[in-house]
Chains A and B, each alone.
Chain A
């Protein structure tokens, strides 16, 4: 083969084929692998925070259960459902592009973004409740330091008060809320970045850039979106569910 032969091969190829790749298959494979390498760094990034959660939970189990039981399990469960549906619509957006149904791809991309925004909306309702109950840790909010109302033992149930088992320190509940806000905050930031990525995908899809031959950007954005979903799949049971069976028992 000669140099001119390669030039011809590229000229005959897809316009999106970069000069340093042999063909579209190789280009797609390289892009997907690159995204997975990035996601591995993300696994380690979130892994460190999950590890912190695990260590402190094993050190102060009672305080963590008290903090966890004060989270709104209904909103958490609804948000889990919303994210899983958004992963389905994202997968269908990739599928529609793969089979050349551009209109459906646009619909599914919009659906995914709307579901992502719904998740963030529900999350902000939860954050507002934590603000109301003075459960934002430290002195992040001026004039509202971490100072939850703690329920007296044997008093009638008050959903706005913290049920702290005897012998547990409010300081350790505060630690739970540091971890809660760090993990859910960074997760929400990833959601915002994901919605930003998808808005680019939507714009380029509307302009007709993607086709069954070339759609690696949508595929790669999908990988990111599903990864953020997976993080929440672990966050939901760890933050909201563990210790639920001990509710008001301790």
Chain B
């Protein structure tokens, strides 16, 4: 009797787990091997970006342009590392969602905090 119950619950679990919709039947699951050519190309781009950002740092571009340019180059470099060295470009949609959610919450933290601090002088106290 006990064995029969255990067996039936196992069958239910098993029928769910082995349904045609389990994750291992979805595309995107097989591992993509990034070629060495791509790794070296990305490496070259990262080195060029580093040289560009150091060079541009000594030129007065006026206003906040120096900061904007340095951060733009840094974001491009980071994106290349994430997409190619970390294989996100070839990863499942679920990986994209997790990476995206991290950046999204980082954005919330920055946006809410900075909107407070940077707007504090906009109004005169009563």
Q: Mark B20-47, 1 if CB is under 8 A from A, else 0.
A: 0011100001110110100110010011
Q: Are B102 and A40 in contact (CB under 8 A)?
A: yes
Contact partner, B114, options A39, A55, A77, Cβ 8 Å: A55
The minimal Cβ–Cβ distance linking A124 to chain B, given in whole angstroms, is 22
Q: Are B78 and A33 in contact (CB under 8 A)?
A: no
Q: Are A241 and B24 in contact (CB under 8 A)?
A: no
Is A117 engaged at the interface, CB distance under 8 Å to the other chain?
Answer: no
Cα distance A19–B32 when bound, in Å?
25
The minimal Cβ–Cβ distance linking B36 to chain A, given in whole angstroms, is 6
The minimal Cβ–Cβ distance linking B75 to chain A, given in whole angstroms, is 9
- For A174, the chain B residues whose CB sits under 8 A away are none
- For A33, the chain B residues whose CB sits under 8 A away are 92, 94-95, 98
Q: Are B102 and A245 in contact (CB under 8 A)?
A: no
What's the dominant secondary structure at chain A's contact region? Answer: helix
B104-118, CB < 8 A from A? 105-106, 109-110, 113-114, 117-118
- For A236, the chain B residues whose CB sits under 8 A away are 50, 53, 74
The minimal Cβ–Cβ distance linking B2 to chain A, given in whole angstroms, is 16
Cα distance A229–B74 when bound, in Å?
11
Give the segment of A83-91, A150-158, A181-189 that binds chain B. A83-91
- For A246, the chain B residues whose CB sits under 8 A away are 60
- For B73, the chain A residues whose CB sits under 8 A away are 237
The minimal Cβ–Cβ distance linking B42 to chain A, given in whole angstroms, is 8
A204-250, CB < 8 A from B? 219, 222-223, 226-227, 229-230, 233-234, 236-238, 241-247
The minimal Cβ–Cβ distance linking A194 to chain B, given in whole angstroms, is 14
Cα distance A32–B46 when bound, in Å?
24
Q: Which residue of chain B has its CB nearest to the CB of A88?
A: B43
Cα distance A245–B40 when bound, in Å?
32
Q: Mark A14-44, 1 if CB is under 8 A from B, else 0.
A: 0000000011011011001100110110011
The minimal Cβ–Cβ distance linking B56 to chain A, given in whole angstroms, is 8
Q: Which residue of chain A has its CB nearest to the CB of B104?
A: A40
Q: Are B110 and A245 in contact (CB under 8 A)?
A: no
Q: Are A80 and B57 in contact (CB under 8 A)?
A: no
5 smallest beta-carbon distances between A and B, as pairs? A40-B102, A241-B57, A237-B70, A244-B57, A245-B60
A-B contact pairs, 22 of them (CB 8 A): A6-B14, A22-B24, A33-B94, A33-B95, A36-B95, A39-B102, A40-B98, A40-B102, A40-B105, A47-B106, A58-B118, A77-B54, A80-B50, A87-B46, A88-B39, A88-B85, A95-B34, A95-B39, A233-B74, A234-B74, A237-B70, A247-B58
